[in-house]
Structure 1
Amino acid sequence: MTVFVFFLRPFFQILARNATLTENGARSQLDHFAWGENNVLLLGKTPCGRATVATLELNRTGVVNLRLLLRSVGLHPPFVVR
């Protein structure tokens, strides 16, 4: 999984140069973000969401490990968007 994240990082950094970051808000989160198949990686659904994930490095190793730990005790994901 870590190899996958680092492989895509340069691609998303290029996208981040030309997109704005999302504003904070529940509706914005539903529009711009989704959990990956395993509910560990945060995915951007729009160019703005992808830029936010890349710029803030929301899938860096430490954060992914924290999500795995929280998932093991039933505290992650905080909500599931369907």
Structure 2
Amino acid sequence: MRGLGTQWIGEAGAFEAAKKDWMERVRYDLGESYLDLSHAVELVKRCSRTSIGEAAGQVLYRCEIWARPCKAEFEKAEGRR
């Protein structure tokens, strides 16, 4: 599934925006059980500069991610048999 973020000042913010878009799409299509990106597999990202010049010394970026959503596995609860 693909996530495409909005433009941000700096690559870190652009990557967070792409992750947020990915989670919103996953939740809409598959449900909240799949939206945790830490359980996804085959995560790849592409970030690139989107501004031509610098505005007040800042450069804008946009990131795109692709990942296959997966559910978290069940774990045995502590203190239970």
Higher strand share: 2
Say which one has the larger Rg: 2
Higher helix share: 1
TM-score with structure 1 setting the length: 0.26
TM-score with structure 2 setting the length: 0.26
Higher RCO structure, 1 or 2 (CA under 8 Å, sep 6+):
2
